[in-house]
Amino acid sequence: LTKALKDSHVGWDKFEELNYENQFFKRYTLHFIARFAAYINVEMGNPSEFDTYVNRKIPNPYDIEHILPDIYDDYVDVFTDEKDFETARHNIGNLMILTKDKNRSYQEMKYDLKVQKYLGDSIVFAKAMNPLFHENNPHFIPLAQKYGIKPYDKIDKKSIHERAKTYLNIAKDILVFSGQTGRNFIKLVR
């Protein structure tokens, strides 16, 4: 993550602007989001699963899911124009990982239908989009509160920005956990 941010000329203050259209970031997005998911898994007392998330040789590997489907006409009332839509759609806050088969099958599904399907997934960030996952889940609820992981009735610029902030909060804790401080990190990316 440190190298990706440095090579993308992005620091903590611009983390939420990370965009899947940036070729360097796109190359490592699966690893970043897998790392965030693995961290939450471990914090919940579960196995990391990072090696599975990034393994491209398994029969049904994990892939990048754009939560907001690529159908501008369905969201014309939410975004200023198509460029605004595309910028939001490729923002890190609109991305998560799912198995390739589910990712392909949800591709053009509207968010209100997708969010029901996400509940049955194995990825914590997918399940957490649905309010039912936040009920009776004592290992998850404190983490959801700490990092701002929450369900969304709709996906729009505000929710995408909030999800990007969630990833940022997790990334900061991963760096602290690995022995790097925010100050050292900022020096590395400038």
Note the pLDDT tens digit of each residue in 158-183.
999 999 899 988 988 887 655 544 44
Contact 129, 117 (CB under 8 A): no
Q: How far apart (Å, rounded) are the C-alpha atoms in residues 54 and 35?
A: 9
Query: Looking at the chain, how many residues does it have?
Result: 190
Contact 53, 47 (CB under 8 A): no
Q: Which of 104, 107, 127, 131 is nearest to 117 (CA)?
A: 127
Per-residue pLDDT tens digits for 119-163: 888 899 999 999 999 999 999 999 999 999 999 999 999 999 999
Q: How far apart (Å, rounded) are the C-alpha atoms in residues 177 and 46?
A: 17
Q: How far apart (Å, rounded) are the C-alpha atoms in residues 167 and 20?
A: 14
Per-residue tokens: 185: 């990190």
Kindly report the CA angle at 129 between 128 and 133, in degrees rounded to 5? 40
Contact 32, 50 (CB under 8 A): no
Would the pLDDT of 55 be above 70?
Answer: yes
For 35-53, letters b (16+ CB in 10 Å) and e give bbbbbbbebeeeeebbeeb
Amino acid 33 reads I
Q: What is the value of pTM for the model shown?
A: 0.83
What's the Cα-to-Cα distance from 40 to each of 33, 82, 160, rounded to whole Å? 11, 34, 19
Residue with tokens 């970031």: 25
Phi first, then psi: give them for residue 125, nearest 5 degrees: -70, -30
Per-residue pLDDT tens digits for 4-53: 555 655 554 555 555 656 555 667 788 889 999 999 999 999 999 999 99
